[in-house]
Structure 1
Amino acid sequence: MSTLKKQRIDLRLNENDKSLIEEAAAMTNQSISQFMVNTASQRAAEIIDQHRRLILSEESWNLVQDAINNPPEPNSRLKRAAKRLQQME
């Protein structure tokens, strides 16, 4: 039987934040810990989702597609960088 290990996160809050969290937890019939874990987990998932997705306008998407389908010729800086990379390998 596997044992679920619980991890701790210690926080220091000012009085106003603590009161606000306690009130919100009570209003949602959750313990303070449940409220904080649920709220932080939801927000974390939103932030991760936002950072994993890239939303482009149609015009921007068309520019990306055009750059992929018709890449420009490498300029001298890119050629020098490629040469340095080959020398490092």
Structure 2
Amino acid sequence: MPALKNQRIDLRLTDEDKSMIEEAAAMTNQSITQFMVTSASERAAEVIEQHRRLILNEASWNQVMEAISHPPAPNDRLKKAAKRLKDRE
């Protein structure tokens, strides 16, 4: 049995925004509520994912900066890959 939807968010929109949302909902064959919930949920997921990928704790940040400042010497596999790439040119 699906969960009951009982949460509300009230919005104030300009006439232009409301018209655009209504038109987009109609074009996608969705109710305004469906369109807004889907759109907001997708955007929320994107923001959360970007934020989680970009935020590092201090120890991780220091580790990244150390690797950038003092990169390791190339190993044999990297040297071979670079040679293959150069030979293709």
Q: TM-score, normalised by structure 2?
A: 0.59
* Structural RMSD (CA): 2.7
SS of the aligned residue for 2:41 comes to helix
Counterpart pick for 2:65 among 52, 63, 77: 63
Matched residue count: 62
Runs of 4+, deviation exceeding 2 Å: 61-67
Percent of pairs with identical residues: 68
Gaps of 5+ in 2: 56-62, 70-89
Question: CA distance change for structure 1 residues 5 and 22 in 2, over 3 Å: closer, same or farther?
Answer: closer
Residues 1-89 of structure 1 correspond to what in structure 2 (within 5 A)? 4-54=4-54, 63-65=65-67
User: How far apart, CA to CA, are the structure 2 residues paired with 1:25 and 1:39?
Assistant: 10
1:28 is displaced (CA, Å) by: 0.1
Gaps of 5+ in 1: 56-60, 68-89
Q: TM-score, normalised by structure 1?
A: 0.59
